[in-house]
Amino acid sequence: MAPQRFKKPPQAPPLFTGTPKSVMEDTKRLIERSRSLENRVVAEVKPEDATFDKVLLPMAYDENEGGLETHIIGFYQSVSTDQALRDASTEAEKLMDDFSIESSMREDVYKLVESAFKKGDKLDAESQRLLEKTHKDYIRNGLGLPAGPKRDRYKEIKKRLSQLCIVFSKNLNEEVGGIWFTSEELKGVPEDVTSLFEKGEGENDGKLRMTFKKPDYFPTLKYATDPVTRKKAYIDDTNKLPQNVPIFREVIVLRDEAARLLGYPNHAAFIIEDKMAKTPKTVDDFLGDLRQRLTKGGRSEIKTLTDMKKQEYKSRGMEQSFDGNYYLWDNRYYDRLMLEKDYSLDQAKIAEWFPLETSIRGMLTIFETLFGLTFVEITGNDRSSISPSGRGDDIVWHPDCQVFSVWDSEDQGSGFVGYLYLDLHPREGKYGHAANFNIQPGFINANGTRHYPVTALVCNFSKPTPKKPSLLKHEEVTTLFHELGHGIHDLVSKTHYSRFHGTNVVRDFVEAPSQMLENWCWTPSQLKALSHHYSTLSPEYEAAWREQAGKDASTPEKKLPDELIENLVKTKHVNDALFNLRQLHFGIFDMTIHEPNSHEEAEAFKLSEMYNKIGYDITQLDSPAQVGAGYDWGHGQTTFGHLLGGYDAGYYGYLSSQVYSADMFHTVFAKDPMNGEEGRRYRHMVLEKGGSQDEMETLKGFLGREPNGDAFYRELGLA
């Protein structure tokens, strides 16, 4: 039991009591407050008198305060069960984005910022960084263009792009498609999965409905023995959002036009200028080199998997229908089969040792030990006691939510750190993947006190049933650990300004801290510590397990057996080349569409064909195109939320970040992953800094040298 003082944090959690009406009213109030502040600064400060304290500091404080409400307003569209509230959240985000664009193109404010910038007053490092970035942002937002048609067009494009990206994301979140399959067509898919499928009536009587949500879709691709079922699931999922086809096209064309208006050769050059890579050539060279290194391994892996497919067809008397191809919808199925046959690895069996609740507790314990933290779950009456409204239900947006207050451990001073929320199961209208959302940023108030951050993990793990808790496949354990890593980054960051808080770092570094933490999910001692067989959690679960396993089955060990751990760890790099070639498909497609040689080329892009052809050229995974359908068979780009959600000309960061994450892990943690001294050093030198200093300086400070790719290439067997 945690001490009583842990229960009463010095800062109350936020309220999630927004209505469609209040969301719109609050948005307009916040916009007007910020506009009035800018007007006042312009009215009161002459360019010759402009300083950081007079111009940028008031706006920074306004940004800090505004984030306490705007993040929640925008969050509702990803988690609310109320369609009207989700719609209002989307509309509010459009208003906020429109205002942000107008604000970023105010020449009168820019002149004051430029004057303060040129003065060269001595500032602390974070304030200097804010001044430099703000000044550059005005130029990148079109104020380097002369007033007139070009600048007006740029502003028009920015507003249109904002609207398009919001609608694209809303379409993704609210997609409700699915396929009715017979039980025979779903043969092989675990009952744990199909028991949660909607049961058909009328013309669909006797059928089960697979939705395109991850807990339905991925197990179907992995386990359905009927290749026709897998093919239909894959192709229909790829084509589930036809309304996003024209949106994606318009976005790519407008981005190119906007970059050229500012004098850049293309959108990639505009975006990457501010990243660690600095130039598209650096990115293209990195991706090209990695592709060259991986290609031979990928071909070898496909040959092995194709041979396995041929053998399986033969054993099932299906030789006549084997065409020698290895399709996109084959990959999850045969990858799983290989792990089971060649490595004695049954993912469903291993999942029995990773119930969601105990896995979370185990992960939080790891973070407590490493980083000097304490997590206290807030339940029942304790929620009411800290709720500003006195109602515990008001501090969550859904009954599924868990809330934790987070504290420093005694050796770190026992101070309050912030709040962590977990929203882990799928529901209609909810964000469909796994992500960390900042709910309220951390910063220093104008009076010198600290506002503590609030962060949320939004995931889509399978729901518990009466016979079993929610069980995590190992890849889901890794996903949860990764997203929790982003959450910890968000929580322990300590910056003056919310602009630099937590994961507000450059895109080609942001994944590195979480990717580094994934290594703990492959460390035998930590797998043992995280594991806890579900049958030992309650008499009901034990009875259900016995019913399934048989009366004569021996009682499972409470912790994951060493033999299974050994088998699991051996699979870390199985089919790794193919996995990373798939990542290269996404990264190279992203760069290709954002690096046209001319605007006319961008306008002429056949994006669906490009997406599928680039994918085949890189991975050699067959698709309908290899059997005569043409490369326009699917629209995979329409579900690629990253490219319209901030990762444009930035998806390469998932691969380049691994260079940094592998370097940090193997240099500092590999020998002793639970070294609390190094963990605390990492917390304070890397995570705490957020984006308040140059990310390369952060890395060099922690490593004691320039980062390099040696560990990354060794990990992939390419050194």
- Kindly report, residue by residue over 373-382, the tens digit of the pLDDT: 999 999 999 9
Residue 639 token pair? 């579900």
**pLDDT at residue 6, rounded to an integer:** 55
CA distances from 319 to 312, 315, 324 (A): 9, 8, 10
Does residue 18 contact residue 84 with C-beta atoms inside 8 Å? no
Q: Which amino acid is at 369?
A: T
Give the length of the chain.
719
pLDDT value of residue 550: 87
pLDDT tens digit sequence for 116-148: 999 999 999 999 999 999 999 999 999 999 999
pLDDT for position 2: 43
Beta strand spans in 317-380 (E): 373-377
658: left (phi over 0), alpha (psi -120 to 50) or beta: alpha
- Give which of 652, 600, 611, 586 is closest to 279, Cα–Cα: 652
Mean local confidence (pLDDT), 68-96: 98
pLDDT digits (tens, 9 = 90+) for 493-503: 999 999 999 99
* Four-residue CA torsion sign, 256, 257, 259, 260: positive
Decide: 536 and 558 in contact? Cβ < 8 Å: yes
Query: DSSP 3-state assignment of 670?
Result: coil
Task: Note the pTM of the prediction, 2 decimals.
Answer: 0.94
Q: Looking at residue 520, what is its pLDDT?
A: 97
State residue 128's pLDDT score.
Answer: 98
**What is 72-115 written as a DSSP string?**
HHHHHHHH-S-HHHHHHHHHHHHHHHHHHHHHHT-HHHHHHHHH
The string of pLDDT tens digits covering residues 460-511 is 999 998 899 999 999 999 999 999 999 999 999 999 999 999 999 999 999 9
Mean pLDDT of 550-558: 88
Range with lowest mean pLDDT among 1-5, 217-221, 446-450, 602-606: 1-5
The answer on pLDDT for 269 being more than 90 is: yes
> What is the arithmetic mean of pLDDT over 402-417?
96
Q: What is the pLDDT of residue 551?
A: 80
Active site residues per annotation = 483
Burial profile 189-217: b = 16 or more Cβ within 10 angstroms, e = fewer: beebbbeebeeeeeeeeebbebbbbbbbb
Tell me how far the alpha carbon of residue 346 is from its chain's centroid.
27
Q: DSSP string spanning 408-449?
A: E-GGGTS-EEEEEEEE-S--TTS--S-EEEEEE--EE-TTSP
475 in Cβ contact with 529 (< 8 Å): no
Q: Is the pLDDT of residue 159 over 70?
A: yes
Q: How confident is the model over 303-345, as pLDDT tens digits?
A: 999 999 999 999 999 999 999 999 999 999 999 999 999 999 9
Output the 3-class SS for 193-222: HHCCCEECCHHHCCEEEEECCHHHHHHHHH
- The DSSP call for residue 622 is B
Q: How far is CA 667 from CA 23, 674, 714, in A?
A: 48, 14, 13
Phi, psi of 386 (to 5 degrees): -105, -5
- What is the sign, positive or negative, of the torsion defined by CA atoms of 552, 555, 561, 564? positive
Q: How large is the average pLDDT for residues 229-244? A: 98
Please report the pLDDT score of residue 719 as a whole number. 78
553 pLDDT band (50/70/90 cuts)? Answer: confident
What is the C-alpha to C-alpha distance for residues 547 and 467, in angstroms, rounded to an integer?
Answer: 10
4 pLDDT tier (thresholds 50, 70, 90): very low
- In three-state secondary structure terms, 191 is helix
Model confidence over 211-222: pLDDT tens digits?
999 999 999 999
